[in-house]
């Protein structure tokens, strides 16, 4: 199902063209978001009814490793959320979606500061007042880590979270992807990581040592050489421990949905049985027998069959 969902052609004729928007998230980093805004009312009607855009909830969506705002699951959940009345902001993480030239540094699996800066700008500059955050895979780890870091009091405008196939225990998920049967997936990730670092090298000559890059065919080796030292971690293992949402998930104090599959090739279902997850009454955990990784395709039954997208939007719409 993972491969089927990745390769299947999809169309979203009801989703309007996205408006690109740039956010400065650090002194040396700018990120690109693809925004689907609900329409604003005309000035003559605004004084009576208020602008639709500002009165609607806004969904911030976070993609997975080497994904982008154009990933099929990002557009799929945007289509359903927009139809449900959300503004939708599909965020490209640093360097993703062809944006290597916008940031000197790299992203990592626990870099919640960037999406928080985006949310803050949407609140302060755009006067949006109700937010939800949804993430897939690596983005799911970001969403749940953000939920734990915010706790009960900080940034109350963020009302709810959802995570699909979230890698909340990075070490356990890395061990899963390193299994022999998953070698084709890891090879593809590493091919994309290598290509990104080459583009990064062209954008910032001398910024990274690319010697021997072609020899790196494991994500752990890539993180050990690039991601971890760049962000001040002692190595890949230290990075996986400190960036995992599992470290703070016991502090999640707002409604949060975790949706994963028992047959996910990368995310072992037992990580969601950790006491910090199981004993937190604010977290709703759904583990389906089938669904693969960020796939979850079922018989249509009156809709397009993408179960995770529908479930995420239904959960968040009821809570924002």
Please, what are the averages of pLDDT over each run of 10 residues along the chain (320 residues)?
85 94 96 94 49 90 95 96 97 95 94 98 97 98 98 97 98 96 92 95 94 95 96 97 98 98 96 97 97 90 89 98
Q: Would you say residue 48 lies in a domain? A: yes
Look at residue 195 and tell me if it is in a domain: no
Q: Does residue 218 lie in a domain region? A: no
Domains held by the chain: number: 1
- Marked catalytic residue, from 137, 165, 176, 244: 137
Domain span at residue 156? 2-172+242-317
User: Catalytic: 101?
Assistant: no
Buried b (16+ CB within 10 A) or exposed e, 9-35: eeebeebeebeebebebeeebebbbbb
pLDDT value at position 214? 94
Residue 218 among the catalytic residues: no
Catalytic residue flag (residue 264)? yes
Residue 36: inside a domain: yes
Dihedral over Cα of 116, 310, 108, 141: its sign: positive
Alpha-carbon span 101 to 78, nearest angstrom:
26
pLDDT of 41: 56
- Structural domain contains residue 213: no
In a domain, 22, yes or no: yes
The answer to the question of residue 187 being in a domain is: no
Cβ(118)–Cβ(222) below 8 Å: no
- Is the pTM higher than 0.75? yes
- Residue 40 has a pLDDT of 73
The predicted structure's pLDDT at residue 47: 45
Residue 111 lies in a domain: yes
pLDDT (0 to 100) of residue 6: 81
Give residue 48's pLDDT. Answer: 43
CATH number, domain of 120, equals: 3.40.50.1820
């Amino acid at each position: 199902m993972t491969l089927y969902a990745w390769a299947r052609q999809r169309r979203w004729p009801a989703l309007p063209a996205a408006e690109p928007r740039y956010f400065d998230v650090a002194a040396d980093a700018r990120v690109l978001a693809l925004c689907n805004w609900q329409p604003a009312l005309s000035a003559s009607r605004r004084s009576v009814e208020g602008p639709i855009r500002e009165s609607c909830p806004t969904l911030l969506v976070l993609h997975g490793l080497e994904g982008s705002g154009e990933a099929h699951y990002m557009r799929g959940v945007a289509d359903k959320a927009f139809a449900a009345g959300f503004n939708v902001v599909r965020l490209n993480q640093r360097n993703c979606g062809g944006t290597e030239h916008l940031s000197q540094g790299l992203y990592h699996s626990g870099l919640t500061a960037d999406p928080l800066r985006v949310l803050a700008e949407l609140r302060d500059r755009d006067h949006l007042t109700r937010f939800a955050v949804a993430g897939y895979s690596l983005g799911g780890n970001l969403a749940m880590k953000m939920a734990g870091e915010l706790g009960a009091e900080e940034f109350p405008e963020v009302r709810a979270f959802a995570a699909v196939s979230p890698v909340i225990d990075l070490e356990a998920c890395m061990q899963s992807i390193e299994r022999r049967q998953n070698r084709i997936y890891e090879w593809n990730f590493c091919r994309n990581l290598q290509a990104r670092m080459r583009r990064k090298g062209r954008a910032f000559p001398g910024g990274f040592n690319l010697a021997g890059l072609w020899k790196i065919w494991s994500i752990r080796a890539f993180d050990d050489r690039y991601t971890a030292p760049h962000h001040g971690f002692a190595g890949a293992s230290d990075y996986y421990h400190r960036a995992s949402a599992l470290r703070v998930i016991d502090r999640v104090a707002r409604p949060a949905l975790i949706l994963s599959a028992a047959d996910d090739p990368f995310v072992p279902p037992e990580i969601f049985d950790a006491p910090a997850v199981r004993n937190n009454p604010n977290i709703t955990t759904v583990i389906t027998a089938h669904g693969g990784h960020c796939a979850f395709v079922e018989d249509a039954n009156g809709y397009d069959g993408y179960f995770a997208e529908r479930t995420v939007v239904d959960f968040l719409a009821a809570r924002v």
